[in-house]
Amino acid sequence: VVDVANEKSSDVVWHLASVSHAQREAANGHAPAVLWFTGLSGSGKSTVANAVDKMLHDLGCKTYVLDGDNVRHGLNGDLGFSDTDRVENIRRIGEVSKLFVDAGLLVSTAFISPFVEDRASVRAQLRDNQFIEVYIDTPIEVCEQRDPKGLYKKARNGEIKNFTGIDSAYELPTSPEVHVKTAEQSIEACALQVVDYLKENGYID
Ligand code: PPS
């Protein structure tokens, strides 16, 4: 029995774009890329990503932020925090990021994205240099002390299961393009570190 609904139809034809990548890049005045922020809950991913977004916007770049909590209310509202759901969460975000990059934007994504393999598959789907991994490296003790949503407390009490860093894995990035330590410098300095990477590598002027 063939499940027709799940088969990719041969009637689906990929439309060629009438505006080229080069034309989009020239109009935007910068190269497109995804700034993939990864790190523990409470590490500062969203805060640094939004600070970077503001700096880039002020420089005249076309930008957007995809944020964990927001996306989980909409597009990924059907997903929880099992390993399988986290894999699907990141797969979908990867696809959405690819569309934003195709549109010529500098898109910042702020998801824990705990598994090396999932981050690697998003990278593999983009062209060279279009995936910039930004590791928000904040010790778990600091994240737990910050505990902005009270989730670490709940995880320690057993009220939340599968909490990253407690009873669910976070696989460390091995060679991130940018390595940010929020416990050692200000948010502004962290954001500047990312913006400087983009300048030094010719994404922006
Ligand atoms: S993942 O692992 O990439 O799929 O997670 P993500 O989509 O980034 O969602 C993380 C936010 O969800 C809240 N939350 C949890 N995080 C980790 N583990 C468990 N079990 C969990 N339950 C809820 C938490 O607020 C995370 O937000 P951040 O911004 O990371 O603190």
- How high is the ipTM of this complex? 0.98
Distance separating alpha carbons of residues 27 and 21, to the nearest angstrom = 10
Q: What is the residue-averaged pLDDT of the chain?
A: 94
pLDDT score recorded for residue 8: 61
CA 113 – ligand 1 centroid, Å: 9
Distance separating alpha carbons of residues 186 and 154, to the nearest angstrom = 28
Q: Is the pLDDT of residue 87 over 90?
A: yes
CA 158 – ligand 1 centroid, Å: 16
Q: How many structural domains is the chain composed of?
A: 1
CB-CB contact of 68 with 46 (8 Å): yes
**6 assigned to some structural domain:** no
**205 assigned to some structural domain:** no
Q: Give me the CATH number covering residue 155.
A: 3.40.50.300
Mutate which of 86, 119, 151, 159 for ligand 1? The one with the most ligand atoms within 8 Å of its CB, which is 151
Nearest by Cα to 79 from 162, 4, 135:
162
**1 assigned to some structural domain:** no
**137 assigned to some structural domain:** yes
Q: Domain containing 142: what range?
A: 20-200
**3 assigned to some structural domain:** no
- The residues assigned a catalytic role are 113
Question: Tens digit of pLDDT for each residue in 114-172?
Answer: 999 999 999 999 999 999 999 999 999 999 999 999 999 999 999 999 999 999 999 99
Q: Is the pLDDT of residue 4 over 60?
A: no
CA 185 – ligand 1 centroid, Å: 24
